[in-house]
Amino acid sequence: MSLALGGVARPDSATAGTPADDRILLSVSDLRMYFPVTQGLIFERHIGDVHAVDDVSFDLPRGQTLGLVGESGCGKSTTGRTILRLYKPTAGRIVFDGVDITRLGGEALRRTRRRIQMIFQDPYASLNPRMTVGGIVGEPLTVHGIGTKAERRERVAELLDVVGLNPNFLNRYPHEFSGGQRQRIGVARALAVNPELIVADEPISALDVSIQAQILNLLERLQGEFSLTFLFIAHDLSVVRHVSDRIAVMYLGRIVELAPSGDLYAHPLHPYSVALLSAVPIPDPVVESRRRRIILKGDVPSPVNPPSGCRFHTRCWLRERLGNPERCTTEDPRLRTLAAGHEVACHFAEEVDGSIEQRQAIGVPIPIAAGGIASAGAATPAAAALAGQAPAVPPAAPQA
């Protein structure tokens, strides 16, 4: 059957000598998405723009996962939706598999959408309560006119099986399923038309802790089975690190750091990334006692009037330490490459590497300059104590 899962031919990404362009499935350059702010009831005057996505560029190679991480309002979801062309980008270029889809419309856009699918955050809101599971999962097939009715039915049953649902549930309604099962239905729907790129927007944040791992493992398995490319959008850095090959950290509509996921954790180079990392709690009290959070002052500024220069300068801990250099407020830092595949948008990123803040954020024992405790074994508690954060004293009280 032509509908067989994984039927889309994929170029062999391992082949040496393939032109670089061929391995890049999605290339986004200078993408901007502004939403107008208007005032007035009858005559709507345009008084400004929400700079939701402002000058975002990245490449996503086939078969890889790029994680987009940031806090609410940083533009990560808008970036995902703009790539799907759910919005009309204000400026920039989106190139999908060598074709510029930025201004595509009508039938051409519809054909492209078959190759890019989305998994939504809320499995309660993203499934039509009046449609059966069979109808929901089969709808993309109907829309794109794929297969006969019988073939579609067979394909839907196959999809349900692939995502770990009983194919006999075809005629049930979404309310009969739990959150995790509903998310599986959403995944099956996204897979239905054999897409190459899947944009997953916070696919697990609405689920219970014990269910999250089920969905993460499912996505990981499907990526391997169907050589899918993922744009994985989430606020949880631990989850993003787990699934992604590369991570882009966003702040106020910009990518401030882009790095291989291991690198981003071991050597965060943007002051915001360091603060973000430091704020993620690690479920291990021993590691936690070695870490210190960087408490950012205040809230994220309004994206209608983003700060001048570097957008993070109003809350930056590094700028304060460097004596508030002029450059941060006047010159907008561009992404620059500091290590292989590691880009960062900060004028003073070199100051971040090796800083106490960076090491405390990730919980690495601080190297001891004075005192001469050189033995690696003794370094951990002593270093933590020297850094002024003596680990919580373990309960010493006798228990017998």
Partner 1 sequence: MMTFDEPAAERLLSVEDLSVEFSSSSGRVHAVNRITFELAPHETLGIVGESGCGKSVTSLAIMGLLPKPAGRIAGGQVIFDGTNLLTLKPDEMRDLRGRDLAMVFQDPMTSLNPVITIEEQLVEVIRAHDSKVTKAAAHQRALDLLELVGIPNPKERLRGYAHQLSGGMRQRVMIAIALALNPKLIIADEPTTALDVTIQAQILELIQRVANESGAAVMLITHDLGVVAGMTQRIQVMYAGRIVETATTRELFAHPRHPYTVGLLRSIPRLDLGDDRALIPIDGLPPDMTRERAGCPFAPRCAWATERCLVEDPELVSVTAGQRTVSSGPGATHRVACWNPATDDEAAQGVPASGHVSAITAATDARVAAAAAILADLP
Give the interface with partner 1 as residue ranges (CB under 8 A): 71-72, 178, 180, 208-214, 216-217, 235-239, 241-243, 261-262, 265, 275-289, 291, 293-296, 298-299, 362-363, 392, 394-400
Closer by beta carbon to partner 1, 155 or else 254? 254
Closer by beta carbon to partner 1, 135 or else 391? 391
Closer by beta carbon to partner 1, 371 or else 394? 394
Is the Cβ–Cβ distance between 86 and 35 less than 8 Å?
no
- In which element (H, E) is residue 305 found? none
Determine the length of the chain: 400
Closer by beta carbon to partner 1, 285 or else 367? 285
Closer by beta carbon to partner 1, 17 or else 283? 283
Closer by beta carbon to partner 1, 151 or else 236? 236
State the Cα–Cα distance between residues 146 and 167, nearest whole angstrom. 20
Token pair belonging to 84 = 């799907």
Nearest distance from C-beta of residue 34 to partner 1, angstroms: 22
Nearest distance from C-beta of residue 23 to partner 1, angstroms: 22
Closer by beta carbon to partner 1, 211 or else 382? 211
Nearest distance from C-beta of residue 243 to partner 1, angstroms: 7
Closer by beta carbon to partner 1, 102 or else 121? 121
Nearest distance from C-beta of residue 220 to partner 1, angstroms: 9
Residue whose C-alpha is closest to residue 334's, from 227, 251, 254, 396: 254
Nearest distance from C-beta of residue 76 to partner 1, angstroms: 12
Is the Cβ–Cβ distance between 80 and 31 less than 8 Å?
no
Q: Which residue has the tokens 């989305």?
A: 118
Token pair belonging to 144 = 């794109």
Closer by beta carbon to partner 1, 10 or else 235? 235
Closer by beta carbon to partner 1, 96 or else 312? 312
Nearest distance from C-beta of residue 47 to partner 1, angstroms: 20
Q: Any residues with CB less than 8 A from the CB of 395 and at least 6 apart, and which?
A: none
Per-residue buried b or exposed e for 101-126, using 16+ beta carbons within 10 Å of the residue's own CB: bbebeeeeeeebbbbbbbbbbebeeb
Nearest distance from C-beta of residue 36 to partner 1, angstroms: 23
Nearest distance from C-beta of residue 68 to partner 1, angstroms: 15
Nearest distance from C-beta of residue 372 to partner 1, angstroms: 28
Per-residue buried b or exposed e for 187-204, using 16+ beta carbons within 10 Å of the residue's own CB: bbbbbbbbbbbbbbbbbb
CB count, 10 Å around CB of 234? 23
Pairing mode, strands 229-234 and 254-260: unpaired
State the Cα–Cα distance between residues 292 and 388, nearest whole angstrom. 10
State the Cα–Cα distance between residues 252 and 312, nearest whole angstrom. 8
Closer by beta carbon to partner 1, 131 or else 211? 211
Residue whose C-alpha is closest to residue 236's, from 67, 45, 50, 3: 67
Nearest distance from C-beta of residue 348 to partner 1, angstroms: 20
Question: For the chain, where are the alpha helices, taking DSSP H only?
Answer: 20-23, 76-83, 106-113, 133-143, 149-162, 179-191, 209-225, 237-243, 261-266, 271-279, 285-290, 317-321, 327-330, 349-352, 356-362, 376-386
Nearest distance from C-beta of residue 293 to partner 1, angstroms: 5
CB count, 10 Å around CB of 266? 12
